[in-house]
Amino acid sequence: MAAAVSRDSAVTIPVAPDAPLGIPAQTRRPESVRFSISSPLQADRVVLDLLRIERWRRPLYLACTVNRSNLPWIWPYTRLDGLAFRVVPSADPAVWDLDHARRQLTEKVTYAGLADTTAVLDQDSRAIVSNYVAAFLQVGNAHLERGDPKACLEMLRLLEDHVALRRLGPAAELLGALRARAEDEIGRAPRP
């Protein structure tokens, strides 16, 4: 089935019924996804062709370093998956498999030496570690937004176990602010 293009730059991509979508199991599987694109460029056409050909049967990822001003129409359909963003067939931010995202960060990656403050990090290594820190914070924040402050605090604890934050500067402030919000939520919860 080919992608349908209309004059208003809308493109509908069918979703294969057996495709592994990268969304929570309890989420309803869409039959197709409609994208609105203004002034498509070559990069837009390439990504649309990949989606059209694969029909979501293979995952499509964007590196976490891709500028969000590139392909702006696709970003609402991305979910953090390790250090990449996976394109999923839903623009609903709640459609994110947070358990999978947590496993990607905590079980699939080794953080050998990053909690050791005596280990030297060059500028490139520091940038990569910052990406991991941002990923932990995003997953923690998503847990908090879904009303699970305990899962948020668990992600922050895991982050602190893996990375010495004090050598990352502003990330420590973000961690503190997110922790305060989660603890505040727990403090406001009604007691049984």
Same domain, 83 and 133: no
Same domain, 8 and 72: yes
Same domain, 112 and 172: yes
Two structure tokens written together for 179:
């922790």
- The chain-wide mean pLDDT, for the chain, equals 86
pLDDT in tens, 5-14: 444 488 999 9
pLDDT in tens, 17-33: 999 998 998 899 999 99
Same domain, 146 and 121: yes
Domain tally for the chain? Answer: 2
Distance CA 91, CA 151 (A): 23
Domain carrying residue 54: 4-87
Q: What backbone torsions phi and psi does residue 163 show, to the nearest 5 degrees? A: -135, 135
Residue 67 is assigned to a structural domain of this protein:
yes
The closest alpha carbon to 95, from 75, 107, 78, 74, belongs to 78
Structure confidence at residue 151 (pLDDT): 95
Helix axes 149-162, 98-106, angle to 10 degrees: 20
Residue 93 is assigned to a structural domain of this protein:
no
Q: Distance of CA 82 to CAs 9, 98, 128, 179, Å?
A: 32, 11, 12, 21
Contact 182, 149 (CB under 8 A): yes
pLDDT in tens, 69-87: 888 999 999 998 888 999 9
Same domain, 73 and 102: no
Q: pTM here?
A: 0.78
Q: Distance of CA 134 to CAs 159, 176, 178, Å?
A: 10, 13, 12
Structure confidence at residue 109 (pLDDT): 80
Residue 118 identity: T
Count how many residues are written for the chain.
192
Structure confidence at residue 192 (pLDDT): 63
Same domain, 41 and 77: yes
Structure confidence at residue 44 (pLDDT): 85
Same domain, 104 and 184: yes
Structure confidence at residue 42 (pLDDT): 81
Structure confidence at residue 6 (pLDDT): 43
Among 60, 87, 114, residue at a domain's last position: 87
Residue 172 is assigned to a structural domain of this protein:
yes
Two structure tokens written together for 28:
């309803």
Task: Report the pLDDT averaged over residues 169-192.
Answer: 84
